[in-house]
Amino acid sequence: MTFWCARALIDGAPVDAVRVHAAPDGTIARLERGVPARAGDTVLGTVVPGMGDAHSHAFHRALRGRTQADGGDFWRWRERMYAAASALDPDLYYELTSAVFAEMLVSGWTAVGEFHYVHHRQDGRPYPDAHAMELAVAAAARDTGIRLTLLDTCYLRGGADRPLSDLQRRFGDGSAEAWLQRWSSLRDTLDTDARTLAGPGPAVTLGAAVHSVRAVPRSAMATILAGLPATVPLHIHLSEQPQENAECLAEYGLTPTGLLHELGALTPRLSVVHATHLTDDDVELLGTAGVTAVFCPTTEADLGDGIGPARRLADAGARLALGSDQNAVVDPFLETRGLEAGERLASGRRGRFSPPELTETLTRGGYASLGLGTGGLQVGAWLDLVELDTASVRTVGAGPDQLPLVATASDVRRVIVGGRIIASDGLLVSPAADPAVLLCAALHRIDDTIDRMNPVRLIPKERA
């Protein structure tokens, strides 16, 4: 298949009349610039490269619009999040995650890193099929068509000298050795299991994650680093909250970044998520190591986390990427503007990141974080494209290089993943589906399940 683009952003710069040739494996075989469309071409308007959501918790979507009225902080919000997690089983997890992935696709995200830690039954016992929850996420990606890096997460404790709580038990494997054993088995299963190979979407990439220095002690992290293949993308929540830093200093005498440095974890394959409360030494260590810092601006604002030092990290040598995290907002362009807006608010200056830098963060940064190659529009990269409406009330008159600063998900027209049109004008193409309808059904099932279980309610009865 060949796509002809009236205009394409290549390395952040607009190029007119671009023909993109698909290879059989869904990568870009050839690019032609300044050429007319030919018979048989799929004709597109203005396109940007595929955009990589480097950090998602799909089930957090169940909290959207349901936690705002009571105020509080991250820790209060987390109680509601655990209530949502307690409602999930493999079937419901598949249903909700499929709906969230569908919303991501029609919004312009073509790839996602699912930071996944809901592994077992509510009481912590494995499912009869030990990988039931992981395979539900993988099947959701394959069936909707999004490119998935499944970041299977190690989560062992509730904090320093604190075991997992009742609501956290299903996250844990008991030890780093047990987690590594399950991870290796999952890798083999994903390679062979027919359920994850039946859908139309691209193959699933298996990555790994350490939840945080709170949730995984130093000795366990050392075991994980020694046991994981060096090519596997590795992610970790880092310094999202001042309390995390204080607890790490009390336990180890080091900041979370300092602890990772001591363990030898700071390498280019590592992505640190949030990186909000960093010391100057932390910034230097992360930049020198060439890690990826994944910012989730809509979540960091929603939870009152703070504004991370994105510009300083980039200047120090870190790569930047973006994520939707709790999926309170699913819109790659709003995440992009949130990154730049945070820098402006913190510094009092405009234009802290140039439009090409922001496009790089949104596209290549996300793909690199997820172990998906270089990203962008170049030969050998995945043929993932997003067509934008340049004549909407939001985008009309904008320079093509500045579209990521004015567009929203509402301006996404067609979405191509692996050389196939996956979404068009807000709907999935094959099978045809409306993400809003999928979300409505999944959220009703979650509410019904929570009512039956009666843990912390997502919506207090007096306002339900």
**Distance (Å, whole) CA 279 – CA 407:** 34
pLDDT band of 74, cuts 50, 70, 90: low
Tens of pLDDT, residues 424-435: 999 999 889 999
**Distance (Å, whole) CA 370 – CA 111:** 8
- Of 367, 361, 291, 375, nearest in space to 321 by CA: 361
DSSP 226-243: HHS-TTS-EEEEES-SHH
Q: What ranges in 120-241 are assigned the alpha helix state H? A: 132-144, 176-192, 218-227
Contacts of residue 4, defined as CB under 8 A and 6 or more positions apart, other chains included, come to: 17, 18, 19, 20, 36, 37, 38, 41, 42, 43, 44
Strand partners, 21: 2, 30
Distance of alpha carbon 256 from the chain centroid:
22
Q: What is the pLDDT of residue 193?
A: 61
* DSSP at 361: I
Q: What is the pLDDT of residue 75?
A: 56
CB of 316 within 8 A of CB of 288? yes
- Of 160, 77, 142, 81, nearest in space to 117 by CA: 81
E strand residue ranges, 191-340: 205-210, 234-238, 270-274, 292-295, 319-322
pTM comes to: 0.94
Enzyme catalytic residues: 274, 325
**Distance (Å, whole) CA 353 – CA 346:** 13
E strand residue ranges, 23-154: 28-33, 42-49, 51-56, 109-116, 147-154
Q: What is the pLDDT of residue 68?
A: 67
Tens of pLDDT, residues 22-41: 999 999 999 999 999 999 99
- Of 51, 202, 205, nearest in space to 116 by CA: 205
**Could you tell me the CA-to-CA distances from 289 to 211, 267, 389, 435 in Å, in that order?**
20, 5, 39, 40
**Distance (Å, whole) CA 288 – CA 313:** 9
Q: What is the pLDDT of residue 196?
A: 45
Tens of pLDDT, residues 375-432: 999 999 999 999 999 999 999 999 999 999 999 999 999 999 999 999 999 999 988 9
